[in-house]
Structure 1
């Protein structure tokens, strides 16, 4: 039943019912307004809910104060209500509490309906507000973890990277052109999805900033941009030389080493050795070979950028020990 209804729908229903129940037991006037407030304050993340609740408190305090002054001095007339809203809304926008406009308007209309303002009435409205906000915050103490989705995105993204490196190596080795390139599209989607989940996860931690997955997907985003830049460069290499064979072998190593862990320094050292080896080889014997080798050196430069980005990435703390000794990317 929980899966069918959805956790947010269930929390909204329970939160509204709880707020109305408490307000009704306290014999507050307009007790259903506590339920409305609770519904409006329940959000998709804890930080959003806390922000929305605070904005509604600020807006309601300002609205009740402003309504008290205008209604008591100018009377309980529609024209005064119109003037009140014309003055109130810009003030709330100025104080960056726009999410509280609807809730505070409801409370101001209570005063307009009663046609009087007393301490008991104001206390009634404040209690309605606090009960609704409190019920919403209580419901939002539970937020389902999306770590499973992030880890799935991580795994599928790394599989795409592995495939891309493998296909790059195949082309360099034998100009094989039967790859559709769909992994590039999938990787882009997985990065966007992973970043969205990571931002949502960080907004559900009020007292700590859980940013591992956010930094992970940002790191992969930068690496992916490099891999995309490499594609047109590789596609121009229609002539196979010794250097392209060696780079293909290196790319195959990278393909097998894509992993959340971080030992990029190993592959950077290997890359530097490969670069020095190329520099010590005989000069190209033709213009065509010169162009190919020049493009290959550019390719090495892009691979170095790819590895440097991973080198700067801080691994997930609890998984660091398990990654020791693994040559992974």
Structure 2
């Protein structure tokens, strides 16, 4: 029997490279200044490498504060009761709740590295204290420096925009096919694709927010949040429009509007202009003959609910303030 082995492609990402570079720089600097426990500078750097700039700054803050608190506890307890395992255990029992209470528990491992240096030396001196401060400055500072470089996500975010709008166009086109021809062959895979893409896009957009230290949100995140709200409407109206008991005259009117909307998801038409078109559809809808049977009444009611929901779809787009500056972004502001 032949055994098959699945080998994943070996890949090195930005974070891996930064971790390796940061650790190398930290230990080199610590060794240059002939610090004791120089290799620990690399450990401190590695513990602070994060996926975003904001997370990196927070990591440095928590680890620095926790390490200072740890040194204070070490000085008080070790110098008072001696450098032995029992005192170390008691100190950790007190130390952990303390850093949890001041919201720096993420710095526990880093602080333990410093504490163990003091414990192994068994003599808290000014020189040792300054040595540990220097290790912290080099380790944390190096991590902060290398983590200030983050990849540019704009191209990926713009690609997500194009892909998502293509999916929306496809969904609207399928609605048109059903309203015109009663075509029920659509498997609905675009719904799953849109949901997955929105999750990825919002996650990446949030990461982009986290890479700007003074920014709480960005236009891409707001854009995908807007598209997600529209998607909720699409999911809600699909059962209404794809389960009509019979086809009525009004279906063609709605199909014409949806075809126009599908063709212009990426065009210069604004949401405002489409809301005006939708108002005209409503007026035409009202002029048409009243339903003759109960099934036709149900079909007309579903179609009217559908166009009301599509009006909300456009309202959501209209509330989006849009992108600024770049031409690519300018085009995006006009999409419906």
Q: Same fold (TM over 0.5)?
A: yes
Alignment correspondent of 2:136: 129
Contact 2:23 / 2:45 at 8 angstroms: preserved in 1? yes
Alignment correspondent of 2:77: 70
Distance 1:230 1:16 in 2: 54
Shift of 1:236: 1.8
1:59 and 2:66 matched: yes
Contact 2:323 / 2:329 at 8 angstroms: preserved in 1? no
Shift of 1:328: 3.8
Alignment correspondent of 1:194: 201
Structure 1 segments, 4+ long, off by >3 Å, are 319-324
Q: Say if 1:132 and 1:261 are closer, same or farther in 2 by CA, change over 3 A.
A: farther
Q: What does the per-residue CA deviation read over 1:174-220, in whole Å, with 9 as the maximum and x for residues that have no partner?
A: 11111111111111111000001001111111133451111111111
Aligned with 1:242 (options 249, 252, 255): 249
| Greater mean deviation of Cα atoms: 284-293 or 39-48 | 284-293
Shift of 1:281: 2.5
Q: Secondary structure in 2 aligned to 1:317? A: coil
Contact 1:261 / 1:315 at 8 angstroms: preserved in 2? no
Q: Say if 1:321 and 1:114 are closer, same or farther in 2 by CA, change over 3 A.
A: closer
Alignment correspondent of 2:177: 170
Q: Which residues in structure 2 correspond to 1:1-329 (within 5 Å)?
A: 4-209=11-216, 211-259=218-266, 263-319=270-326, 328-329=335-336
Distance 1:293 1:187 in 2: 28
Q: Secondary structure in 2 aligned to 1:176? A: coil
Q: Secondary structure in 2 aligned to 1:92? A: helix
Q: Secondary structure in 1 aligned to 2:325? A: helix
Q: What does the per-residue CA deviation read over 1:140-192, in whole Å, with 9 as the maximum and x for residues that have no partner?
A: 11111122221111111111100000100110111111111111111111100
Q: Secondary structure in 1 aligned to 2:95? A: helix
Shift of 1:323: 5.1
Shift of 1:293: 1.0
Q: Secondary structure in 2 aligned to 1:116? A: coil
Distance 2:293 2:185 in 1: 29
Shift of 1:261: 6.5
Q: What does the per-residue CA deviation read over 1:22-50, in whole Å, with 9 as the maximum and x for residues that have no partner?
A: 11111111111111000111111111111
Q: Say if 1:273 and 1:319 are closer, same or farther in 2 by CA, change over 3 A.
A: farther
Distance 2:22 2:301 in 1: 66
Distance 1:143 1:133 in 2: 17
Structure 1 gap segments, 5+ residues each = none
Structure 2 gap segments, 5+ residues each = 1-9
Q: Say if 1:246 and 1:320 are closer, same or farther in 2 by CA, change over 3 A.
A: farther
Q: TM-score, normalised by structure 1?
A: 0.95
Contact 2:179 / 2:247 at 8 angstroms: preserved in 1? yes
Distance 2:329 2:96 in 1: 56
